[in-house]
Structure 1
Amino acid sequence: MAVPILDIAQIEQLNKTELIDAINWLIINDFEKLVFILYRIDVSEAKIKTLLNKDNTNFAAPVIADAILERLEEKKASREKYRQDPSASDEEKW
């Protein structure tokens, strides 16, 4: 796999298999970047540790990918919930 240049927009476009492959690459080659990505997406370190300790597999990438995808869905739902109606007047937006 080529060096993944991942930002949040790119991650949102990946399917789960591609995301797992990218995470595996980062675990092996650039763990610091993986930690930075998790920070930017707002996946808590405690949650990752809990999931990895609970999971009975030696493969961290699928567990991390699930946590990332779950957090992105939460953020998407939050944006939808708090999206303002574009037809609302400026006065109503306050």
Structure 2
Amino acid sequence: METRTHQLNQLINKHLPDSITPLSEETSGEELMEAVRKRLKFLLDTDMERLLHTLYRIDVAENRVREILSSTDPDLIDTALTELVIERIRQKLETRRKYSQH
């Protein structure tokens, strides 16, 4: 059975691909957060439409994204979005785990 970290990394690679440095099975903790933050920061700086599409595909709550974009210090938006994305992907994994056991 795959570990939750491995599953999390797979979903991040799927939704936020980085062909230069994909997340490996061993990537966890701070490295994971930093990799996701960098990917989101790149999209935030270069392609807002793609960023919003990506957040939509991940199924991040639109109202929370709007709140972050409108009221967060611009230097901290990437970090706030990272936390939101990681939280949502973890929720998805938990739901999959819960319903795959039945």
Q: Normalising by structure 1, what TM-score?
A: 0.69
Question: Following superposition of structure 1 onto structure 2, how do residues 71-86 of structure 1 map, counting pairs within 5 Å?
Answer: 71-84=88-101
Which residue identity lines up with residue 58 of structure 1 in the other structure?
A: P
* Residue of structure 1 equivalent to 2:65: 48
The gaps in structure 2 that reach 5 residues or longer are 1-12
The gaps in structure 1 that reach 5 residues or longer are 1-5, 86-94
Structure number with larger C-alpha Rg: 1
Aligned-partner Cα distance in 2 for 1:47–1:74 = 15
Which residue identity lines up with residue 29 of structure 1 in the other structure?
A: T
* Residue of structure 1 equivalent to 2:14: 7
Match of 2:74 among 53, 58, 66: 58
- 2:41 equivalent to 1:24: yes
Which residue identity lines up with residue 15 of structure 2 in the other structure?
A: I
What is the Cα-based RMSD across aligned positions, in Å?
2.6
Which residue identity lines up with residue 66 of structure 2 in the other structure?
A: K
Q: Identity over aligned residues, as a percent?
A: 24
Aligned-partner Cα distance in 2 for 1:44–1:83 = 24
Higher relative contact order (CA 8 A, sep 6+): 2
Whether the aligned pair in 1 keeps the contact of 2:43 and 2:50 (CA below 8 Å) is yes
Q: Normalising by structure 2, what TM-score?
A: 0.64
Higher relative helix content = 2
Aligned-partner Cα distance in 2 for 1:37–1:29 = 14
